């Protein structure tokens, strides 16, 4: 039952990534054609554009949501692939600990950076 619930979250996280990650990809990789959320012009990676996106309320919130759902979706998918290899009980526990621990550390780094960047 628990795995069914995780699988459903995996699918829902995929839909969230489709929306927020799709927006992120459009902002970053169609910047030359559309130029959305890049008021300074030029590349989406130019510091002036990065500052504008970092300082508003919308983008930091979207970044943190995207960070969480992508880490869950990606690490749960990786866990499924690893567990399918038949790595035994000890291996399963190790994989679970590494992925949950790694996910929490990466989420903390990314979320703190998004919040701190609001003040740059």
Question: Which positions touch other proteins (CB under 8 A)?
Answer: 11, 14-15, 17-18, 21-22, 25, 29-33, 43, 45, 47, 50, 54, 67, 70-71, 74-75, 77-78, 81, 84-86, 89, 92-93, 106, 109-110, 112-114, 116-117, 120
CA angle 98, 104, 110 (to 5 degrees): 130
Separation between Cα atoms, residue 95 and residue 79, nearest integer Å? 7
Q: SS3 for 35?
A: coil
Q: How would you class 44 by CB atoms within 10 Å of its CB: exposed for 0-12, middle for 13-18, buried for 19 or more? A: buried
Tokens 């554009």 belong to 49
- Min. distance of Cβ 62 from other proteins in angstroms? 14
Q: Measured from the CB of residue 30, what is the shortest distance to other proteins in angstroms?
A: 5
Nearer to other proteins (CB atom), residue 43 or residue 65: 43
| Beta carbon of residue 103, minimum distance to other proteins (angstroms, whole number) | 10
The least CB distance from residue 28 to other proteins, in Å, is 9
Q: Is 43 helix (H, G, I), strand (E, B) or coil?
A: coil
59 DSSP 8-state letter: H
Q: For residues 11 and 100, which CB has a smaller minimum distance to other proteins in the complex?
A: 11
How many Å apart are CA 59 and CA 95, to the nearest integer?
Answer: 32
């Amino acid at each position: 039952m628990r795995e069914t619930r995780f699988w459903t979250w995996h699918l829902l996280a995929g839909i969230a990534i489709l929306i927020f990650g799709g927006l992120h990809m459009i902002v970053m990789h169609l910047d030359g054609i559309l130029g959305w959320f890049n008021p300074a012009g030029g590349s989406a990676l130019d510091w002036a554009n990065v500052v504008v996106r970092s300082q508003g309320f919308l983008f930091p919130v979207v970044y943190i949501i995207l960070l969480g759902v992508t880490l869950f979706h990606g690490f749960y998918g990786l866990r499924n692939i690893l567990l399918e290899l038949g790595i035994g009980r000890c291996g399963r526990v190790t994989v679970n600990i590494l992925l949950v621990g790694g996910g929490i550390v990466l989420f903390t780094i990314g979320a703190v950076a998004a919040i701190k960047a609001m003040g740059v």
